[in-house]
Amino acid sequence: MDDRQLVALALLLQRRKRGRPFLPQDAFVNDDSQFVGACCTRRAGKSNGLGLRFYKQMIKHPGSLSRYIALTRDSAKDIMWPALQELNETHNWQAEFVENPLTMTLPNGSRLRLIGADMKNFIPRLRGAKTVANAIDEAQSFGPHIESLVNDVIVPTMADYTDAWLAVTGTPGVIPRGFFYDLSERGVGGYSMHKWSLFDNPHLPDAKSFVEKLKIRQKWDDLSPTYRREWLGEWVLDQDAMLIKYSEDVNHYDQLPHLKWVYILGVDIGHKDADALAVLAWSPGTPNVYLVEEQITREQDLTALAAQIEKMIAKYDISKIVMDEGALGKKIAEEFRRRKHIPVQPADKHRKMENVALLNDWLRQGRFKAKRDSAFAEDSYLVQIDYEHTTPDRLVVKKDYHSDIIDAVLYAFRESPAFTYQKPKHIPKWGEPGWAEHERDRMEREAEEHFKALEDGTSYI
């Protein structure tokens, strides 16, 4: 029996000691495929399964490096850190945990590092070092860059080990599309996929009763998309779960119409996140507002941000600049006004959900346009409503994914004069139906205005 079989047997014996076999999780843990995936529901035990996979590989390769990647550092810490600590205590791994920089080290010197995609120098952190095991969790919430992250950054680090592996895991997203959907549902990439739910988890006392009570509390029926997605593990189109109701069938555009446009620039300043610039166009000749350009930049200083804004001003002859002045934003905005002579105005942040509702109304009417491959469109599919914590008087957004560009769009959209648009009235020409009635109304109106001016003493006749 080789080392790999011995480790698998040891884990199985540990599990049996506890008297609760977990066959779907065991199959995932013991899958020797180089590229493996798991698409599970909430509370299915996916994190513990990943922890066990990491442990197997770390025991086999002393002094090796493994990496767990989540959407943010906070989510990596919230999801994986407690799971690893529980496994360490349960199975006596004798691991050492260092909270900064979120690293678990086994007695043989092998290390597991937890990383968030929002961390400074995220990509440089991943390049260079050789790895024996990698996992990308919350894959449904990553943007389209996840494919490049996998193929161009992570896979090359696995070349030094013949048995190195990559696991891509998550739950179904609100839109059946994207990298994780393709590999979990369409078999793209040749991943060995595993699927199970909380109903398969023997360590939950009464999963069925828990979910039934949740359905009653949330007023879900068996066809509710959120119920089917979160608790049955099904990919279901669920626009109700999207904070921003973008639909490419209604809101995509190919070319900006030939009109005289006025441009507004929205700026969201990233303190831990990225800086985002959004240019919106409106015209008195149309009821629609168009997102014409975006810029999203991480880890830049104020000089670089100011230069970006100045380029936008020169390119579009911007009529108004609206900036997030929360936290340090107020000092930054004042710096731009005083030293850079950039006339920024504070964004309306206090009524964000009202502005979201207004934007969604325009999206439903097809009056807000953005291209299907825009960051705004992509992020619309990723920012979700947290229905577990939402109340009738308070809408709560999930913390899984933060969008900078959506905030920048909201700031500019709220200031758009397109809200005052009125459809031009058709004036019938001589000979057309309604011409006589229009002329009668016009002459009566002019007569009334004339006699009123005589009474007021303002007539010059």
Q: Do residues 277 and 204 both lie within one domain?
A: no
The β-bridge partners of 346 are 323
**Is the residue at 294 inside a domain?**
yes
Domain C-terminal end among 232, 259, 288: 232
DSSP for residue 426: P
**Is the residue at 14 inside a domain?**
yes
Based on the structure, what is the number of domains in the chain?
Answer: 3
Q: Do residues 11 and 55 both lie within one domain?
A: yes
**Is the residue at 68 inside a domain?**
yes
Q: Do residues 392 and 453 both lie within one domain?
A: no
d(CA 442, CA 445): 5
Domain C-terminal end among 232, 256, 273: 232
Q: Do residues 395 and 452 both lie within one domain?
A: no
**Is the residue at 241 inside a domain?**
no
pLDDT tens, per residue, the chain with 461 residues = 455 545 554 554 454 445 567 888 899 999 999 999 999 998 888 999 999 999 999 999 999 999 999 988 899 999 999 999 999 999 999 999 999 889 999 999 999 999 988 876 778 778 878 999 999 999 998 877 888 899 999 999 999 999 999 999 999 988 888 899 999 999 998 999 999 998 888 888 888 899 999 889 888 899 888 889 889 999 988 888 889 999 999 999 999 999 999 999 999 987 666 899 999 999 887 889 999 999 999 878 888 888 999 999 999 989 999 988 776 777 888 888 888 888 888 887 777 888 898 899 999 999 999 999 999 998 998 888 887 777 777 788 887 678 889 999 999 998 877 666 556 667 778 888 887 888 888 888 888 887 787 777 665 55
d(CA 28, CA 195): 9
- What would the pLDDT profile of 219-277 be if each residue is shown by its tens digit? 889 988 888 988 999 998 888 888 999 999 999 999 999 999 999 999 998 766 689 99
Q: Do residues 259 and 192 both lie within one domain?
A: no
Tell me which residue of 280, 304, 296, 245 sits closest to 402, measured CA to CA. 296
Q: How many Cα atoms are found within 13 Å in the side-chain-facing hemisphere of 24?
A: 19
Q: Do residues 149 and 9 both lie within one domain?
A: yes
**Is the residue at 51 inside a domain?**
yes
Q: Which domain holds residue 440?
A: 425-461
Domain C-terminal end among 187, 202, 232: 232
**Is the residue at 110 inside a domain?**
yes
Q: Do residues 103 and 192 both lie within one domain?
A: yes
Q: Do residues 435 and 383 both lie within one domain?
A: no
**Is the residue at 242 inside a domain?**
no
Q: Do residues 212 and 89 both lie within one domain?
A: yes
210: domain CATH number? 3.40.50.300
Q: Do residues 35 and 109 both lie within one domain?
A: yes
**Is the residue at 144 inside a domain?**
yes
- What would the pLDDT profile of 324-343 be if each residue is shown by its tens digit? 877 677 788 888 888 888 88
Q: Do residues 325 and 284 both lie within one domain?
A: yes
Given a contact cutoff of 8 angstroms between Cβ atoms, the answer to whether 213 and 58 are in contact is no
414: domain CATH number? 3.30.420.240
Q: How many Cα atoms are found within 13 Å in the side-chain-facing hemisphere of 451?
A: 5
Q: Do residues 57 and 130 both lie within one domain?
A: yes
Q: How many Cα atoms are found within 13 Å in the side-chain-facing hemisphere of 197?
A: 13
